[in-house]
Amino acid sequence: MTLSISLTINGQPKTIALDDPRVTLLDLLRERLYLTGTKKGCDRGQCGACTVLVDGRRMNSCLSLAVSLNGTEVTTIEGLAEGDDLHPVQAAFIECDGFQCGYCTPGQIMSAVGLISEGHAGDDPERVRELMSGNLCRCGAYQGITEAVLEAQRTLKEQKERDAA
């Protein structure tokens, strides 16, 4: 039995036929839509490499059945930049050297975008580390990641204040 779902992925509406209702969002993104920036790490929701935004909230895509997300908006790492203009979190990761091997970086960035937009980051490095603890980095780039989240939050706050003025 084929099921049809509708998703908006990185701003583009998609209607997708699923032959298997058990396909995860992660597998749909990587294997059917060729959006390979979202990484498959542990495939158990423990490492955060597969983090995407669903309706603006952080989600481990390896734990989410695609069929259960019918009608939602999904943002992957490929959908953050606007043309050649990086999202402030992406720019901060580069500026603060918030990555080493880079495998976990897309999930880290998506988690950071989510926690900043949720208003949880604050300006406390310890709180940022706690809120990012669901994203693991085997290389140990945590100091740069924390600095990048705080820097991006400052940049986004300044942009918001300029836009309001």
Tokens describing residue 1: 């039995």
State the pLDDT at residue 119: 83
Calculate the average pLDDT of the chain. 91
For residue 83 the two structure tokens come to 């043309």
Q: Which of 90, 88, 79, 98 is nearest to 159 (CA)?
A: 88
* pLDDT for res 72: 98
- Rounded to whole angstroms, the Cα distance separating 28 from 40 reads 12
In sequence order, the 6+-apart residues with CB closer than 8 A to the CB of 156 are 88, 116
The boundaries of every CATH 1.10.150.120 domain in the chain are 88-164
Residue with tokens 């839509």: 33
Residue 140: pLDDT above 80? no
* pLDDT per position as a tens digit, 4-29: 999 999 999 999 999 999 999 999 99
Domain with CATH 3.10.20.30 in the chain: 3-79
| Alpha-helical regions (H) of the chain | 25-27, 88-95, 105-117, 125-131, 142-164
Mean pLDDT for 63-81 is: 97
Instruction: Please check the confidence at residue 96 and state whether its pLDDT lies above 80.
Output: yes
How far is 52 from 55, CA to CA, in rounded Å?
Answer: 10
- Classify domain 3-79 by CATH number: 3.10.20.30
Is the pLDDT reported for residue 126 higher than 80? yes
DSSP β-bridge partners for residue 51: 60
* SS3 of the chain: helix, strand, coil, percent, to 5: 40, 20, 40
How confident is the model at residue 31, as a pLDDT?
96
Mean pLDDT of the 71-88 span:
95
Say whether pLDDT at 120 is over 80: no
In degrees and rounded to multiples of 5, residue 74 shows phi and psi of -115, 130
- Regarding predicted confidence, which is higher, 121 or 159? 159
Superfamily in which the 88-164 domain is placed by CATH: [2Fe-2S]-binding domain (1.10.150.120)
Average pLDDT score over residue span 131-147: 84
Task: Specify the pLDDT at position 15.
Answer: 97
For residue 14, the cross-strand partners are 7
Report whether pLDDT(48) > 80: yes
